[in-house]
Structure 1
Amino acid sequence: MNIYDNELAIDCILLAGRIMMESGAETYRVEDTMLRMAHSQNMENSQSYVTPTGIIFSLGRTQPTRITSISTRVTDLHKIALVNNVSRKLTSHIITLEQAYDELQKIQKTNYFLPILLQVLAASIASSCFIILLKGSWLDVPAVFVAGGVGLYVVTVVHAKTRVKFFSEFLAALVIGIIAFLAVKFEVGQDLDRIIIGGVMPLVPGLLMTNAVRDLMAGHFMAGMGKGVEAFLTAFAIGAGIALVLSF
């Protein structure tokens, strides 16, 4: 490969890793995908080091080491699946390196999230299902339906404006606690605890906790600990918001 092809391959591999990390993929999965793509381009001496905040990729002595930062992290499993599909097609030589890079750029620029109103509706339905799973009363379903939807709306809007993840989660939990308290006070709901638990379920960092455990089991201790701390801080923000309401 000439210098141009090497640069294009590195750009393509780093872009794939960045999309996956920003979409909530596990660290070991990102490293494995990047190395498979590199080996398909005859880069046998390539090395990648992935953390939740950045990616380092090197071809050894033939090219300078490249670094890309990870500034945002969301949960978008569809993008992860699309990048994996591009990686499989590249390693199977179904598409060329240029085609793979073009597809990855399109994936990065496309917003695959549903409209905010549909996300709120889905959160409301999920919260309502959780209260039934917790053997709560059907009379509490309207209250938890509202609490779950409003909570997700608050965390989405506040995070978009402030870019402070834990503050938005704290504020959303605070709003959920207030809704639950008012529902019980005005006899719209009965069980305060179950309404709160159902309402905060869409905010719970389930993917973060799962990825933290999987990375630790795969030997990526720094990434696993980092994701575990992030999940703990999210849980702490949710708990602090609810505790503030209950304390008053």
Structure 2
Amino acid sequence: MEVLELDKQKEKDIVDICLLAGRIMLKSGAETHRVEDTMIRIGKAMGITDSQSYVTPTGILFSIEPTSNSYFSRISERSTDLHKVDEVNSISRQLTGGKLTVEAAREQLKKIERTSHVYSLWIQVVVAAFVSGCFTIMFDGSWFDFLPALLAGGTGFFAANYFHRFIEIRFFAEFLASMIIGVLAYFFVSIQWGVEIDKIIIGSVMPLVPGLLITNAVRDLMVGHLVAGLSKGAEAFLTAFAIGAGIAVVLSFL
């Protein structure tokens, strides 16, 4: 009975650490194949040579053997925090190299899960505003369009985050934010603060474009994770469609 209890406790420790590592990475914007690979490597470092991991953008399935019980972890929210992904990868490498104990790894993973590296909303808005202005110049806009793009892009990014607090579906938040960007761009050009409305709009919507999501979708498809790649691609398409639809609605009425 004591041996059985020890085996159960070891299994619980392995499952907890692997699921915790996978959950942190998936919530932080890692590709699904990277999450699976990290979980399997952690399992091997803990003496499990035939662990099974299946990851989708919304959930993780893990078992220590093909015929053993499977454990599931639901992922409801995802963001972008690549620093956390790097930290979990570092812990995985240390475990594999025997430089870290199981208990120390568990404590570090829990600390990573509690820590947030996300900047405050106002810092994000300021950065998004300058990025919008710079993208406008990069897309052959004139310096007269820099300030309008800066103001429209910052306002649109703030609106997207503000609306998302009250509207759980990101499609509508991004749709409304892009409409605001279109209205502001038209307004600035009409009062002669800007020259080319198309360049202002293109630069202003760039902070809303799901670049990481598109990259992960392509990478997952390239390594054969068709379900994850297609679902992420569909999510990216809906975001792009929301942005385009919001701008189209504004321009069709003005």
TM class, shorter-length:
over 0.9
Distance 1:107 1:237 in 2: 33
In the superposition, relative to structure 1, how do residues 126 and 91 fare at CA in structure 2: closer, same or farther (>3 Å)? same
Amino acid at match of 1:113: V
2:73 aligned residue: 68
Distance 1:39 1:197 in 2: 48
2:250 aligned residue: 245
Tell me the C-alpha RMSD between the 2 structures.
1.3
Residue 195 of structure 2, aligned match among 190, 196, 199: 190
Amino acid at match of 1:48: S
Q: How many residues align?
A: 248
Amino acid at match of 1:44: T
2:176 aligned residue: 171
2:158 aligned residue: 153
Answering whether residue 193 of structure 2 is matched by residue 204 of structure 1, we say no
TM-score between both structures, scaled by the size of structure 1: 0.96
What are the Cα deviations for residues 75-97 of structure 1, in whole angstroms up to 9, with x where unaligned?
A: 11111111111111121121111
Answering whether residue 28 of structure 2 is matched by residue 23 of structure 1, we say yes
Distance 1:173 1:102 in 2: 42
Amino acid at match of 1:199: S
Answering whether residue 111 of structure 2 is matched by residue 115 of structure 1, we say no
Amino acid at match of 1:83: V
Distance 2:227 2:43 in 1: 24
Out of 231-240 and 98-107, give the one that drifted further. Answer: 98-107
1:125-140 alignment, distance < 5 Å: 125-140=130-145
Distance 1:80 1:160 in 2: 25
Question: For 1:176, what is the secondary structure of its paired residue?
Answer: helix
Answering whether residue 76 of structure 2 is matched by residue 51 of structure 1, we say no
In the superposition, relative to structure 1, how do residues 61 and 196 fare at CA in structure 2: closer, same or farther (>3 Å)? closer
State the shift of 1:2 in Å: 2.5
The alignment-based identity, stated in percent, is 51
State the shift of 1:240 in Å: 0.8
1:143 aligned residue: 148
Question: For 1:43, what is the secondary structure of its paired residue?
Answer: coil
2:45 aligned residue: 40
What are the Cα deviations for residues 149-168 of structure 1, in whole angstroms up to 9, with x where unaligned?
A: 11111111221232221111
Question: For 1:2, what is the secondary structure of its paired residue?
Answer: helix
What are the Cα deviations for residues 135-178 of structure 1, in whole angstroms up to 9, with x where unaligned?
A: 11101111000111111111112212322211111111111111
TM-score between both structures, scaled by the size of structure 2: 0.94
Unmatched segments (≥5 aa) in structure 2: 1-5
Distance 1:12 1:199 in 2: 42
State the shift of 1:70 in Å: 1.0
Unmatched segments (≥5 aa) in structure 1: none
